[in-house]
Structure 1
């Protein structure tokens, strides 16, 4: 992992600031318990924006119950320089997502699975996705990094998603990088 500085381990959303990961995880479990027979996706993705004298990275965590809403939060990390090398920037975005994925230990993932497990025969589901802010289009300069970044997300036990399906990185996180 690229180590630019000590990572920020607090999270926030529009209602709460300075949440610990334990508080984030409690929010996720509580959200899932509201509708245990739902179809859930836990999605994590990072986007960045080069600013005047730094590069701002936003990692989003979104738990979605299809047709029933979402709960989301984000983590901000600032590198005190402009990162202009595309591979370095995409790689660090992926590293930050990996850092958040690593907080979802097997024990925590099992706790989420156990909420929907009694309802699987009624259609309940739970999946984990890693949203990468890269695209496969011919004109997209990030396409050369697709295989590398997909392999990294898969190694975390998540289903990789790229544009246009990587909305946590390309829309949610992107919105807060400005």
Structure 2
């Protein structure tokens, strides 16, 4: 049973622990309903860090109202080995992002869209983004995987973001992988 992935389906943030996804979704709905005529970005992204006996993965969910703040939470996952192969690690990060994104079923997405829908002609908006901790810069080792990972995020109906625009993965989640 060595090297098994331990999947954790509970979410947390600095105020709340052991949240179910239903609880997370209700928090997002409540956040958006406070000002339904806002510009919202729902973002999901994962980062990883290799430790001496494991590789720690953090997947962040952030709902941001442009110019008005955000609500965020994260999910922790640990693989009980050092994942030193870069492609394997980046691919698993993307898989965890896809997994959490899949919890936003078409019905749940519709519920979020319906919050802002009456205000679309007044300038409100809603986007769903998948943040990938990779970059296309010449010096970035992950650049050879950009097309593959971006295609995966696009295939699940999310707008892919890479560095420097993938701050949920490269900033928020990264902070908790240490």
TM, length-normalised to structure 2: 0.97
- Match of 1:71? 71
Choose 157-166 or 4-13, whichever is displaced more.
4-13
Segments of structure 2 that go 5 or more residues without pairing to the other structure are: none
Q: What's the secondary structure of 1:131's corresponding residue?
A: strand
- Residue 4 (structure 1) shift: 4.1
1: CA distance, partners of 2:78 / 2:63: 24
Partner of 1:91: 91
Change (3 A) 1:135 1:149: same
Whether 1:55 and 2:55 are equivalent positions in the alignment is yes
Question: 1:136-175 to 2 correspondence within 5 Å?
Answer: 136-175=136-175
**What secondary structure sits across from 1:11 in the alignment?**
coil
TM-score (normalizing by structure 1):
0.97
Give, in whole Å, the separation in 2 of the partners of 1:135 and 1:147. Answer: 10
Q: Are the aligned partners of 2:45 and 2:166 in contact in 1 as well (CA < 8 Å)?
A: yes
Moved over 4 A (4+): none
Residues 6 and 79 in structure 2, CA contact (< 8 A), matched pair in contact too: no
Query: How far is 1:5 from its partner?
Result: 2.6
> CA separation in 2, counterparts of 1:106 and 1:4?
31
